[in-house]
């Protein structure tokens, strides 16, 4: 079913209003295809009816469907691994200074590879120390969060985890989904998964946080949404706390008081 520009603009406005996601005009064909599929599944007759359905859905479950269909949840274990090397080094410094309480945030955690990588790196860095350490992992998509919380990964995805860590922090399992690995309970227990819409500050957290991973999500936002998000990140970080953004993202040109220490790494 073709989608005229007037209807497409209504989808664009709705997605921006609800999730801060700026859809470019080049996404029109993709949105039309994905939404048409959803219309068939829901037995709705046209796009207008679907827009109404979306607006009336107070649980935002349908919005999650739409966002999952038009944005990407792509992620992987140890993605952009220099960030994790950096974090490991920083942990040595903080432990050396006597710090024992640590709080971290994975701000767009997708299917969980990012916060679980953080958890492994942090556990390794603090081995032998008695620490109080927690990670908050958030995403707008309740569907992807449920997968993250379950912590099951097919063998192919888990292969990005070094084998010593895979043996230590995962259990081999066979499920109806096939052969794979489940994150061990003690790693899962370090992480609290919660739904959070990054485009709707202020956020309920108080901080202070030692490091925030906000990677590969700001690309979807325009400068207004980014500015509001960054101001919350700055509020939540402790002094000498770090923000990691995706390698393709930069805070250049943003009104931001964080200092750039390396490409894609910022300090308060």
User: Looking at 79, 103, 139, 210, which residue is catalytic?
Assistant: 139
Binding of ligand SAM by 74 (CB under 6 A): yes
Nearest approach in angstroms of CB 257 to ligand SAM is 23
Look up 34 and say whether it is catalytic.
yes
Which region among 41-49, 68-76, 82-90, 119-127 touches ligand SAM (by CB under 6 A)?
Answer: 68-76
Binding of ligand SAM by 121 (CB under 6 A): no
Binding of ligand SAM by 108 (CB under 6 A): yes
Binding of ligand SAM by 215 (CB under 6 A): yes
Binding of ligand SAM by 246 (CB under 6 A): yes
Residues 6 or more apart whose CB falls under 8 angstroms from that of 186 comprise none
Nearest approach in angstroms of CB 67 to ligand SAM is 6
Closest CA to 144 of 55, 249, 217, 248: 217
User: Phi and psi of 178, rounded to 5°?
Assistant: 115, -165
- Out of 91, 187, 217, 243, the only residue in the binding site for ligand SAM (CB under 6 A) is 217
Binding of ligand SAM by 210 (CB under 6 A): no
Binding of ligand SAM by 141 (CB under 6 A): yes
* DSSP annotation string for the chain: ----HHHHHHHHHHHHHHH-B---GGGHHHHHHHHHHHHHHHT--SHHHHHHHHHH-TT-HHHHHHHHHHS-----TTTTTHHHHHHHHHHHHHHHTT--EEEEEETT-TTTHHHHHHHHHHHHHTTTS--EEEEEEEES-HHHHHHHHHTEEEHHHHTTS-HHHHHHHEEEEEETTEEEEEE-HHHHTTEEEEE--TTSPSPS----EEEEEE-SSGGGB-HHHHHHHHHHHHHHEEEEEEEEE-TT---TTS---PEEEETTEEE-
The answer to whether 221 and 22 have CB atoms below 8 angstroms apart is yes
Look up 182 and say whether it is catalytic.
no
Binding of ligand SAM by 142 (CB under 6 A): no
- Out of 31, 66, 75, 258, the only residue in the binding site for ligand SAM (CB under 6 A) is 75
- Out of 181, 220, 242, 244, the only residue in the binding site for ligand SAM (CB under 6 A) is 220
Task: Considering the complex, state which of residue 113 and residue 131 has its C-beta at the smaller distance from ligand SAM.
Answer: 113
Task: Give the integer Cα–Cα distance in Å for 137 and 135.
Answer: 6
Task: Considering the complex, state which of residue 95 and residue 205 has its C-beta at the smaller distance from ligand SAM.
Answer: 205
Write the binding mask 190 to 209 for ligand SAM: x where contact by CB under 6 A, - elsewhere: -------xxx----------
Which region among 86-94, 137-145, 160-168, 250-258 touches ligand SAM (by CB under 6 A)?
Answer: 137-145
Contacting residues toward ligand SAM, per CB under 6 A = 19-21, 71-75, 79, 108, 110, 114, 139-141, 144, 197-199, 215-217, 220, 246
Active-site residue set: 34, 139
């Amino acid at each position: 079913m073709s989608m005229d520009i007037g209807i497409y603009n209504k989808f664009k406005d709705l997605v921006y209003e609800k999730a801060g996601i700026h859809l470019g005009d080049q996404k029109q064909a993709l949105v039309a295809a994905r939404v048409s599929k959803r219309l068939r599944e829901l037995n709705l007759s046209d796009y207008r009816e679907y827009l109404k359905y979306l607006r009336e859905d107070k649980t935002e479950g349908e919005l999650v469907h739409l966002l999952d269909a038009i944005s990407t949840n792509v992620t992987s274990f140890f993605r952009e691994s220099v960030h994790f090397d950096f974090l490991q080094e920083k942990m040595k410094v903080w432990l050396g200074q006597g710090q024992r309480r640590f709080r971290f945030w994975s701000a767009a955690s997708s299917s969980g590879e990012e916060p679980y990588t953080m958890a492994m790196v942090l556990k390794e860095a603090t081995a032998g120390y008695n620490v109080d350490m927690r990670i908050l992992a958030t995403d707008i998509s309740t569907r992807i969060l449920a997968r993250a919380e379950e912590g099951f990964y097919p063998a192919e995805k888990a292969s990005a985890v070094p084998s010593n860590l895979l043996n230590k922090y995962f259990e081999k399992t066979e499920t109806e989904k096939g052969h794979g690995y489940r994150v061990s309970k003690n790693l899962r227990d370090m992480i609290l998964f919660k739904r959070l819409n990054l485009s709707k500050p202020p956020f309920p957290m108080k901080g202070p946080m030692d490091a925030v991973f906000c990677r590969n999500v700001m690309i979807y936002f325009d400068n207004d949404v980014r500015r509001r998000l960054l101001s919350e990140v700055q509020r939540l970080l402790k002094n000498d706390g770090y923000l990691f953004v995706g390698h393709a993202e930069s805070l250049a040109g943003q009104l931001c008081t964080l200092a750039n220490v390396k490409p894609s790494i910022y300090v308060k």
